[in-house]
Chain A
Amino acid sequence: MSTSAPRSAPLASETPAERRTAPIELADVSVMIGGQGGDGTLTVSDLLGRYFRQRGLYVYTSRNVLSRIRGGHADASVRASREPTSAVKAQVDVLVAFDQQAIDLGRPELAPHGFILYDSTSFRSELPNSAGFPFATLVGGPLGQPIFKNTAAYGALSVIFGFDAALTRGVIEDRFRRRGAEALDKNLKALEIGRKAAQEAAGVADRFSVVEGDAHDLILTTGNQAVALGFTVGGGRFFAGYPITPATEVMEYLQRYLPPLGGVVRQAEDELAAINMVLGASYAGARAMTSTSGPGLSLMTEGIGHAGAAEIPVLVADCQRVGPSTGEPTRHEQSDLAHLAHLGHGEFPRFIVAPADPVDCFDLTIEALNLAERWRLPVILLLDQALCQNTTTCARFELAHAKVDRGARLSEAQAAALEEYRVYAVHEDGVTPWAPPGTPGLWSEVTGNEHDEWGHVSVDPVNRRKMMRHRMEKMVRAREELPAGRLFGPAGAKIGVVGFGSTSGPILEAQRLLAARGIASRYYQARTVFPVPAHELDPFLASVDAAYVVEHNYTGQFANLVRAALPWHHAKLRSILKYDGASFRAPEIVAGIQEAR
């Protein structure tokens, strides 16, 4: 077989006999677009997502990129569904490939009915159910540059899916209008080139049709953007961080949001400086946070311990990625939890809260700020790569529930009326009134040395016991105020599932798959993961015969924490674990549950 010259004629490598007459109707569709970094795979994913959203579908997009600026394999996936979804679909319906590697990597995920659309400019494929068009060559002539091949591929996809022509064009107009008339014109031409090529080829048009949905007036966003917005609305006005994948976007969004509100965002020289700048700002009375990932978290550990000892409120968002060491910076894992639960030398209180989707990210960031300030301690916002960076269709963020609670902060009038100001005063409820430096009439000593109520250094054993109890008991006293978990599925179901963070998406989908097979399950989504919400988990575990703890790590970190907190439920706990850098697909969870039964 000759593979020498690129072919300019369409390649439809199937016989007319294979041609289906009616399109396959999909209520849940997944398209994967692969190529080299710089091929514009994300643009194709974005255009498809825009189209599907206009058809009232829930959209979830994910990407798989290498830690490099250009080149290397990169792929993007877009899923559109009539049901709300926050998970990658297990099987790909259409694979778009800009090179052979994209086919090799994507094909194992292709559904039996799946179709491959590829750019045949530099290679050809003889696979069944595939069509190749030399997009780069087709656009390169009339438009002068091959880069418009991605828009041409979107055009061909619109034919494969039988998209509405006007809406398909409207998506291009929406996306490229702001880039100027020339860019818009060339993309519209590329669109038509792609459409024409696909329409003229045999057996390509109307392979699939995608149903309409009723998801309207929703937003498409990421966890990182939601955290940045939650921090802003929650009164956060100081951020210091250091660039690190997959946390950097939190800093980038805040660089846009905070300065117009009188806030400050600093990119520090390292994570040591970032956490300590945040501690300084918080001590001075600002609501402050940092965001980081594994390696940065390790560097911040001493500072977080200092916050616990010196009772300085701080919010740290940990966008977990594959670890340890540099690990896989762009890939997904939930393996920092054990470190966070036991983080630091010595003993100090901390709360770890874990949102599951962007709306939850927005709400819990605000709650975490309130908790940190009221209880004067570090709060960790436990995130993961899929939650941070994948985009999800979700409800608009509500200002109505947003509330800034500054705990026992003293007004200037209250401070002026004080007879004495003890910065570490121990009260029965564990909450200490405070006033920032600069408050007229008072000043204080704040230190990570063991100290008395005045902040004076002390090694007195009686004082040590008193201050240790004061700090550590915050984890007990605050229990009822910590974010409550959520339950999904019928009460009385004997199969329990436990998870946190972005695994909620695939777990909820797995519950639907199980229900379709007549298997009822009940899912407990932990939103506080430390201290372990034993008061919620105890009755939940008592109500089921077995509980499958689904998490992205090797050792079953959350299962181990639950086991330690509720040893009498030990025999019921089973782990479903994944640590290959990819997020769970729902059928993997279903299989995990069925195998164990």
Chain B
Amino acid sequence: MPARSAKPVQPIWCPGCGDFGVLAAVKRAAANLKIPTHELVLVGGIGCSGSIHNFLEINGIHALHGRLLAQAVGVKLANPALTVVAAGGDGDGYAIGMGHFVHAFKKNASILYLVMNNETYGLTKGQASPTSQIGFEGNVEPPFHAILTALSVPAPNFIARTFSGDPKAMTAILEEALRFNREGRGFAFVEDLSPCVTYNDTYKLWREKVVDVQTLPGYDPTDRRKMFGLCLDQIDQGRLPVGVLHRPADTEREGLEVKLLGERPGPARSAIDVGSNRAQYEKLLAALA
């Protein structure tokens, strides 16, 4: 009989928010993969989307603004048996958290980073974000395209983009991303286009602009160079490429936690009492002269 633990609370999101689609897809993907509740950790960022951990029956930890990836990597390296999802918004990930975002691809820890991109700061009432279009709330800076940055780091990551208007496709992609993580293959980045119905309602516009990359001539998710070109062409034409953008050709277990720990249980599950380690400690101390 499981102990009664924290129960999910009602989402704080506005009716119709794109994040509801993400919540549903995460639930379905976790259920389809039969991930036990106690083994699933969701690290939430700061912003509307980052509160998602409160609405799931799950281990939730709310990180500082922009630092969810660092915390998520720490969780995974401490206990590689956990399935770790970091989830936040475009401001959290691409503005204040940008340094960690780029390094996450390089580190390649087997965690899923799910960014709900609505091209605005919703929770603080509609300011321009790093992905805002020119002209939005007086924005004069060109929008940042996270998928291009993702594709530019030569590391064996899983990279995909989804649209909250297509929850079925999103569920399939999240399932693949979580399987990729659980096999220890490395970092999975999924950007979901998740409209903010209050400050930047783009549902109609985005439905017209999304293009499934699988339908593009020459689609090959193992070819990073070609995919970068395909995506850049689509972006230049004002379209929003969605689908699996990169998937390593091989199935090697290249996750950071595998490289560092192999099959060892990890820092959180190691016996740390003095008795269990006495021989090694005595050797370390005896080496002092």
Contacts and interface: CB of A to CB of B under 8 A. Distances in A.
B100 A280 contact: no
B64 A445 contact: no
Tell me which of B4, B6, B74, B261 has the highest count of chain A C-beta atoms within 10 A of its own C-beta.
B74
B64 A276 contact: yes
Interface in A414-449: 415-416, 418-421, 423, 436-449
B261 A264 contact: yes
A455 B57 CA distance: 13
B135 to A, nearest CB: 32
A272 interface: yes
A264 B78 contact: yes
A443 B7 CA distance: 9
Nearest to A253: B284
A352 interface: no
A272 B285 contact: no
A443 B82 CA distance: 12
B79 A437 contact: yes
Contact of A396 (B53, B267, B274, B285): B285
A380 interface: no
Interface in A342-359: none
Contacts of A443: 5-6, 37-38, 57-60
B224 interface: no
Given A233-B281, A262-B266, A276 B289 contact: no
Contact of B288 (A219, A421, A442): A219
Given A220-B289, A262-B270, A264-B77, A448 B67 contact: no
Contact of A442 (B3, B73, B273, B282): B3
A272 B1 CA distance: 40
Given A278-B74, A404-B273, A306 B64 contact: yes
Contact of B3 (A279, A396, A421): A421
Interface in B36-55: 36-39, 41, 43, 53-54
B124 to A, nearest CB: 16
A286 B61 contact: no
Place the interface of chain B in its size category: 35 or more
A419 B62 CA distance: 25
B267 A237 contact: yes
A84 interface: no
A396 B54 CA distance: 50
A348 to B, nearest CB: 14
A183 to B, nearest CB: 20
Interface string A207-242: 000000000000111000100010011010110100
B263 to A, nearest CB: 11
Interface in B6-46: 6-7, 9, 36-39, 41, 43
Contacts of A455: 6, 60
A235 B273 contact: yes
Given A232-B281, A445-B60, A447-B61, A272 B70 contact: yes
A276 B77 CA distance: 13
Given A281-B74, A403-B274, A264 B266 contact: yes
Contacts of A436: 79, 268
A448 B62 contact: yes
A444 B58 CA distance: 7
B75 A420 contact: no
Contact of A444 (B6, B64, B274, B278): B6
B24 to A, nearest CB: 20
B79 A287 contact: no
Tell me which of A276, A403, A454, A456 has the highest count of chain B C-beta atoms within 10 A of its own C-beta.
A276
A558 interface: no
A397 B3 contact: no
Contacts of A288: 74, 78, 267
A280 B71 contact: yes
A303 B281 contact: no
A444 B8 CA distance: 10
Nearest to A424: B6
A431 B288 CA distance: 37
Tell me which of A273, A399, A416, A442 has the highest count of chain B C-beta atoms within 10 A of its own C-beta.
A273
A261 B282 CA distance: 13
B6 A402 contact: no
Contact of A260 (B38, B274, B280): B280
Tell me which of A288, A439, A441, A454 has the highest count of chain B C-beta atoms within 10 A of its own C-beta.
A441
Contacts of B67: 272-273, 276, 303
A262 B41 CA distance: 22
Interface in A391-413: 396-397, 399, 402-404
B249 interface: no
A420 B61 contact: no
Interface string A136-178: 0000000000000000000000000000000000000000000
Contact of B278 (A286, A399, A440, A457): A399
B167 to A, nearest CB: 25
B59 A447 contact: no
B237 interface: no
Interface string A240-282: 1000000000000000010111111010111011101111111
Interface string A275-300: 01111111111111000000000000
Contacts of A439: 38
A264 B62 contact: no
Contacts of B205: none
A302 B58 CA distance: 26
B280 A261 contact: yes
B4 A285 contact: no
B81 A280 contact: no
B264 interface: yes
B103 interface: yes
B92 to A, nearest CB: 13
Contact of B78 (A285, A310, A416, A444): A285
B143 interface: no
Contact of B284 (A257, A418, A423): A257
Contacts of A306: 64
Contacts of A257: 284
B215 interface: no
Tell me which of B67, B72, B265 has the highest count of chain A C-beta atoms within 10 A of its own C-beta.
B67
Interface string B149-192: 00000000000000000000000000000000000000000000
Contacts of A454: 6-7
A75 B103 CA distance: 39
Given A441-B38, A443-B59, A454-B6, A277 B71 contact: yes
Contacts of B100: 269, 272-273
10 contacts: A233-B285, A270-B99, A281-B77, A283-B75, A286-B266, A397-B288, A402-B274, A421-B4, A442-B2, A445-B54
Given A283-B71, A437-B75, A447-B60, 20 more contacts: A261-B277, A261-B280, A262-B261, A262-B265, A263-B267, A266-B77, A272-B70, A276-B67, A276-B70, A277-B77, A280-B61, A283-B74, A284-B41, A284-B78, A286-B266, A421-B5, A439-B38, A441-B38, A446-B62, A449-B62
